[in-house]
Amino acid sequence: MHIMKPIAQALAASSATAVLLLATAANAQTVYTGDIIQGKQVISQLDVKDLEPGKKHHFFFQGVQMGSGQHWYLPVVVAKGAKPGKRILLISGVHGDELSPVDAVQRVMAQLDPAKMSGTVLAVYDVSRPAMEGTTRKWPAAQQGGTLIDLNRVWPGNEDGNSAPARHAGLVFNRLLKPNADYALDNHTAGTGGDFTAFIFAKMDQPEIRAMAELFPIEQIKNDPGYAGTLETALVKAGIPTLTTELGGPRSFDRRIVPMFVEGTLNVLKHHGVIEGSIGRTAAVADTFIGNAFSPVRATHGGFLELKVDLPDTVVPGQQVAIQRNSFGEIVAEYHSEVTGQVSWLHRDAMIEPGRLVMEILYYNPDPACEPEGCPSEAGDYIE
Ligand SMILES: [Zn+2]
């Protein structure tokens, strides 16, 4: 009997361990696939609680499989503070032609010393990895002879969905982003062919979101209810206050605008107590223009644009903002502002098709329908 007792205890202990392992597997835990890519461990699920404090950690997150059976992998960097605190998520690459966010997030991460931090900063790059590979906005999916999918219209995704991008979004949202964020910045620029000011879309009726937006020394903020399917909208619905930032134009690093967002992001980290230091320049210091509506100027003809204003010019009603010529050089259209506001977004490509946006002018619309959430932007323009 005296022999049996320790065995019984050992059995009880091992089954308790097994139960514990099963129970924790159902919760968010960091899952290592066992693969190493370019010296980085591959994970298929992350819980920053599992990581050693006071250090930076580098991983590849295993996204969806391609038709070849291989996976898309996303670079992930975690600065895990020595002390506990808020968890801030910095995202880039939801659109593959928007590059300044990569530079801005890398510059923020380079400034962090986890030994002096309270909380965690999670940087995720190349979220739409195949779009990044082509420097294109949309994810090229193989089905039906090839199709292009805007990853910023499918969030929160669906791990059991009927397309690879939807499944990818589901994996990234459920296993990487949502379980590890108290606040988030989803960083974008204008898409190819367009150009933006230093701009933020924010749900300004939500105090925690407003507080973050006003910490950026940028040019413009739009109070905006958000589009369905954007990462910002999905994260906010999950209870994570989030901004969509626009760091100017696509495809290159904007040396004027990136520093504004680095400073603003560091302000957000200070605001939430993750890093120490005094708050830098803010929207109040930068005299940021805040509006709640866009006045779209749309091409009525095909032809070539001569812009008469630039970013972020102030315009008044009736002011000519662009003229358009045909291939003979004849003027086919003149465009005017309908509002007093500031130019936010421009069509930089000289040629334009009818119906497309020449520009968006940010202004304040006193219509009660535009408060407190802001007037929705028209869907389908893909400016963000
Ligand atoms: Zn974008």
Residue 344 CA, ligand 1 centroid: distance in Å: 15
pLDDT value at 379 more than 90: no
Residue 34 CA, ligand 1 centroid: distance in Å: 33
Q: Which H/E stretch holds residue 355?
A: none
How confident is the model over 187-238, as pLDDT tens digits?
999 999 999 999 999 999 999 999 999 999 999 999 999 999 999 999 999 9
Q: What tokens appear for 354 in the block? A: 């009818």
Peptide bond into 372 cis (omega under 30): yes
How confident is the model over 127-177, as pLDDT tens digits?
999 999 999 999 999 988 999 999 999 999 999 999 999 999 999 999 999
Residue 377 CA, ligand 1 centroid: distance in Å: 15
Residue 382 CA, ligand 1 centroid: distance in Å: 8
Residue 243 CA, ligand 1 centroid: distance in Å: 12
Please give the sequence-ordered ranges of beta strands (E in DSSP) within 14-131, or none if there are none: 31-37, 40-45, 55-65, 71-80, 83-91, 118-124
- How far, in Å, CA of 143 to CA of 141, rounded? 6
Q: Which H/E stretch holds residue 175?
A: none
- What residue spans of the chain are helical by DSSP H? 4-26, 100-110, 129-133, 164-172, 207-213, 231-237, 258-271, 283-286
- How far, in Å, CA of 7 to CA of 149, rounded? 58
Residue 112 CA, ligand 1 centroid: distance in Å: 26
Residue 185 CA, ligand 1 centroid: distance in Å: 12
Evaluated on CA atoms 70, 75, 81, 86, the torsion sign reads: negative
98: nearest Cα among 243, 213, 246: 246
Beta-bridged to residue 118, according to DSSP, are 83
Characterize the bridge pairing of strands 83-91 and 71-80: unpaired
Residue 95 CA, ligand 1 centroid: distance in Å: 5
- What residue spans of 255-384 are helical by DSSP H? 258-271, 283-286
Threshold 0.85, pTM exceeds? yes
Report every protein residue that has its C-beta within 5 angstroms of ion ligand 1: 95, 98, 188, 384
